[in-house]
Structure 1
Amino acid sequence: MRAICWHGKGDMRVDTVPDPRIEQPGDAIIRVTATAICGSDLHLYDGYVPMMKAGDIMGHEPMGIVEEVGPEVTRLKKGDRVVVPFVIACGSCFFCEKSLFSCCDTTNPDAAALAELQGQAGAGLFGYSHLYGGYPGGQAQYLRVPHADVGPVVVRSDQPDEKVLFLSDILPTGWQAAEQGNIQPGDTVAVWGCGPVGQMAIISAWLLGAGRVIAIDRVPERLEMARMQGKAEVIDFTKLDVHDQLQVMTKGRGPDVCIDAVGAESHGLGSMDAMMDKAKAAVGLTTDRIHALRQAIHCCRKGGTVSVPGVYVGFPDKFPMGAAFGKGLTMRMGQTHAQRFLQPLLDRIDKGEIDPSFVITHRLPLEEGPAAYDTFRDKKDGCIKVVLTP
């Protein structure tokens, strides 16, 4: 089969690789009909996540048709149309039984390496580094899905792929980000980063009762999408001081909920802390550039909540713990417990309450995927979200 494979920093290639096969009785094989490039894929592309190996198959946002199932699979059958979440969960460990699927204790064969960095290891992930199991990803013609009775959600309606594909990651990630904010009716929610996850967090915030949503970015196309599709007020951080503007907009109180949908590669153009982060990252002295997170902490109202769906890697410098403590902030973060949200969000899509396809700007064949990585990372051609078809 053909698949997009990692061959080093900034080096993606479409290779011919062996077709996946049933390896465990709970596996399924999916023929991929649509897949996407995620912002967190760029952390691999840019070389920020360790333990990648040449030839690793990329991608964790796939959907397709079930071609084969193992003898222990009972929920899926050949011919089912499914969306596959990026988290691989067993469904029966201590954490899965608490619906903390991204904390699954059993699906990461490289758990010892991740635990060395983090204390304990989380679940295996499709198409990510060998810190998370090194599972082949979904930017390919076929995908092996372990624990197939736990992960995929069956799409029984005739909704087009584009409307349901993002159940794989960005829609539940944006939803969890908003839910973690404990949004109360009428709350002001500020979202840093108007990429795909940020856009999903914006629409989720409205559905969870926000009275006001403010979106922060520097890319005109993203800000316009947040304004037109997300009905958000917008701040271009290259033109306005974000803290001062939020203070004005909230009459000196600050937003009730701040969502950092940026993660480890924050730009923060012109700010001293962002320039220091960039310089240190360039020479390997830090793994994360956390300007957006620092700013969210400084801007959030006292007693408010900072929710972090943006991916962080390791040991960021100058984390403002004093501000978080002094202001009595609640911070919630983590990989998305995707399985928890799949059916409820699919129901909302079927009812017409959510149509996440508005974020798609580029539709390309799989063979053009490597060039699309460059376009997406550098925000060329108004690129916000790329969908690939094998």
Structure 2
Amino acid sequence: MRAVTYHGTGDMRVDTVPDPTIQHPRDAILKVSSTAICGSDLHIYDGFMPEMKTGDVIGHEFMGEIVETGPEVKGLSVGDRVVIPFNVTCGRCHFCERQLFSMCDNSNPDGEKLEKLYGQAGAGLFGYSHLFGGYDGGQAEYVRVPFADTGHLKVPSHISDDSLLFLTDIFPTGWQAALNADVTEGSTVAVWGAGPVGLFAIKSALLLGAETVYAIDTVPERLRLAEQAGAVAINSSEQKPYEALMEKTNERLPECVIDAVGLEAHGAGVLDTVYDKAKTVTFQETDRPHALREAILCTRKAGTVSLAGVYAGMVDKFPIGAAFGKALSFKMGQTHVLKHIPDLLRRIEEGQIDPSFLITHRGTLEDAPDMYKTFRDKTDDCIKCVMTP
């Protein structure tokens, strides 16, 4: 089969690789109908994700049709149309039973590596390095789905792939970000990053009843989409977010703040971004936390900071004094996809949201190398790339 594979920083290729096979009785084989490039994939593309190996199959946003099942797979049949969460979950451990699916105890065979870094390991991830199980990803014609009997959501045939694909990751990630930020009726919200996750965080905050949502970014096309989604845009290359938010909120600041940027933050002419870049290039720091620092400064006293953007290692110059002095709460982590997607599917079916609004680029797997570069460089007004194998 054909698949997108990793060959080093900035080098994604489309190779012919062996077709996946059933390796465990709870496995299934999925024929991929749609797959997408995620912002988290860019951390691999840019060389920020350790334990990648040449030839690894990439991708964790995918859906399709079941074409084979293992003998212990129940409730799932050949021909079923499903979306597959990006995290691999056993469905039976202490954490899965509590719907903390991204913390699954049994799905990451490389857990010992993460335990050395984090103290404990979370779930395995599709197409996302050998820190997270080394599972082949979904930017391919076929995928082996471990624990397939629990790790799926069946979806109706009358809704298009475009409207369902993002249930695999970025829609529930934006939704969980808004929930973690304690968004309720009448909330004032600020979202750093108007990329795909940030846009879904904006949509989710409004669905949860937020009165005002501010979107902070530097890319005009992303800010236009944020405005179309119902947010108030702040271009941080033209105006400092703190000053803008102080003015717009009568100096109260937002009480619900979401960092949808993560470890590759860029600032517009801001000194700390130069510092962070130098530190990461010389391996003295792993993550660039400019957006996180700014978000903390801009959160109202006793407010909540929700981290949806991925952080992987160590950050420097973390303003712990400001967080402590303002009594801020922090919530973060990989998304418990299976917990959220039944409700989100209902909202799609009821017409509350059509997630396809952010698709700007389409192609086949063969187009992936060019799409990665376009998406990373934010050229051609690129917001989201979807591929049909």
TM category, shorter: over 0.9
RMSD of aligned Cα (Å): 0.7
Q: Which residue of 2 is the match for residue 37 of structure 1? A: 37
Q: Write the distance in 2 (CA, Å) between the matches of 1:219 and 1:57.
A: 30
SS at match of 1:29: strand
Q: Which residue of 1 is the match for residue 25 of structure 2? A: 25
> Could you tell me how far 1:143 is from its partner in structure 2?
0.4
Q: Which residue of 2 is the match for residue 271 of structure 1? A: 270
TM-score normalized by structure 2? 0.99
Matches within 5 A, 1:361-380: 361-380=360-379
Aligned residue-pair number: 389
Q: Write the distance in 2 (CA, Å) between the matches of 1:357 and 1:156.
A: 16
Q: Which residue of 2 is the match for residue 144 of structure 1? A: 144
Question: Which amino acid in structure 2 is aligned with residue 122 of structure 1?
Answer: G
1:174 maps to 2:174? yes
Structure 1: runs of 5+ lacking an equivalent: none
Q: Which residue of 1 is the match for residue 281 of structure 2? A: 282
Contact residue 83 and residue 154 of structure 1 kept, 8 A: yes
**Paired-residue identity, %:** 59
CA displacement, residues 133-154 of structure 1 (integer Å, 9 cap, x when unaligned): 1100000000000011111111
CA displacement, residues 87-122 of structure 1 (integer Å, 9 cap, x when unaligned): 101111111111100000110000000110111000
Q: Write the distance in 1 (CA, Å) between the matches of 2:73 and 2:350.
A: 29
Structure 2: runs of 5+ lacking an equivalent: none
Matches within 5 A, 1:294-309: 294-309=293-308
Q: Which residue of 2 is the match for residue 119 of structure 1? A: 119
> Could you tell me how far 1:157 is from its partner in structure 2?
3.8
Question: Which amino acid in structure 1 is aligned with residue 11 of structure 2?
Answer: D
Q: Write the distance in 1 (CA, Å) between the matches of 2:160 and 2:268.
A: 39
> Could you tell me how far 1:174 is from its partner in structure 2?
0.3
CA displacement, residues 323-346 of structure 1 (integer Å, 9 cap, x when unaligned): 111100010000000010111111
Q: Write the distance in 1 (CA, Å) between the matches of 2:380 and 2:281.
A: 26
Q: Which residue of 1 is the match for residue 130 of structure 2? A: 130
Q: Write the distance in 2 (CA, Å) between the matches of 1:112 and 1:256.
A: 38
1:317 maps to 2:312? no
Q: Which residue of 2 is the match for residue 155 of structure 1? A: 155
Q: Which residue of 1 is the match for residue 66 of structure 2? A: 66
SS at match of 1:132: coil
Matches within 5 A, 1:240-279: 240-279=239-278
1:9 maps to 2:9? yes
Q: Write the distance in 1 (CA, Å) between the matches of 2:81 and 2:341.
A: 14
SS at match of 2:102: helix
Q: Which residue of 2 is the match for residue 101 of structure 1? A: 101
Contact residue 81 and residue 157 of structure 2 kept, 8 A: no
SS at match of 2:380: helix
Question: Which amino acid in structure 2 is aligned with residue 233 of structure 1?
Answer: V
CA displacement, residues 30-87 of structure 1 (integer Å, 9 cap, x when unaligned): 0000000000000000000100000000000000010001111112100011111101
Question: Which amino acid in structure 2 is aligned with residue 308 of structure 1?
Answer: L
> Could you tell me how far 1:184 is from its partner in structure 2?
2.5
1:360 maps to 2:348? no
SS at match of 2:139: coil
Q: Write the distance in 1 (CA, Å) between the matches of 2:325 and 2:149.
A: 45
Segments ≥4 residues shifted beyond 4 Å: none
Q: Write the distance in 2 (CA, Å) between the matches of 1:345 and 1:149.
A: 20
CA displacement, residues 144-184 of structure 1 (integer Å, 9 cap, x when unaligned): 00011111111124101000000000000000000111112
Q: Write the distance in 2 (CA, Å) between the matches of 1:250 and 1:309.
A: 24
Contact residue 237 and residue 268 of structure 2 kept, 8 A: yes
Q: Write the distance in 2 (CA, Å) between the matches of 1:106 and 1:5.
A: 26
SS at match of 1:114: helix
Question: Which amino acid in structure 2 is aligned with residue 208 of structure 1?
Answer: L
Q: Write the distance in 2 (CA, Å) between the matches of 1:157 and 1:137.
A: 24
Greater CA drift, 325-334 or 149-158: 149-158
Contact residue 218 and residue 268 of structure 2 kept, 8 A: no
